[in-house]
Amino acid sequence: MSEPKSKPDSSRRAFLAGAAVAASAALVGGLRPMTARAAGSKLPHLTDANAMAKSLDYTPNHNTVKTAQSPTYKAGEHCSLCRFFQGTPGQKSGYAGCQIYPGYSVNAQGWCASFSARS
Ligand code: SF4
C-alpha cells in the first residue's frame, strides 16, 4: 500500500511565503541606498585620504591637475562630464556619488584618472 501524494503542508507554504517577502524586502532595501548614492549630497566628500582616490589622483578641482603627475588628463575634463558621476550631467557645482567610489561623493568639478567621458 502506497502513501497518498501529499500537498505541501502549511508550514512549508508559510516558509516559502516568508522567503518571498524577505527577498522583496531585501530588494527594496537594496534600492534605497542606490537612490541615496545617486543624490550623493549626504555622503562624505572623497579626499585623497582614501587610498584608491590617492592612487587615481582624485582632486576636487580639475583646474589643479598637474599633467606631469596625471598625463591622461585633458583640459576641461571633470566629474560632471564623466559617465561614472551620479549627479546631474554637466552640473557646475556641488557633490554627487560616483560609481568608482561607493559611499563617497565627488565634486562636480573634480577629476580622477578613471575619468571616462559620457557618450
Ligand atoms: S570616476 Fe569620474 S566621476 Fe568619479 S571621481 Fe573619477 S572623474 Fe570624477
Q: Give residue 48's pLDDT.
A: 87
Phi-psi category of residue 78: left, alpha or beta, with phi > 0 → left and psi -120 to 50 → alpha: beta
Distance CA 79, CA 76 (A): 10
Q: How far apart are CA 119 and CA 116, in angstroms?
A: 9
The set of protein residues with a Cβ atom below 6 angstroms from ligand 1 is 58, 79, 82, 84-85, 98, 100, 106, 110-112, 114-115
- pLDDT tens string for the chain (119 positions)? 444 454 555 555 544 444 443 443 333 334 444 444 445 668 999 998 999 999 999 999 999 999 999 999 999 999 999 999 999 999 999 999 999 999 999 999 999 999 999 99
Q: How far is the CA of 4 from the centre of ligand 1 (A)?
A: 64
Q: Hey, what's the cell of 66?
A: 598637474
The best mutation among 63, 85, 86 to test binding of ligand 1, ranked by most ligand atoms within 8 Å of the C-beta, falls on: 85
Structural domains of the chain, with CATH: 40-107 (4.10.490.10)
Cβ contact 57:69 at 8 Å: yes
The amino acid at 106 = V
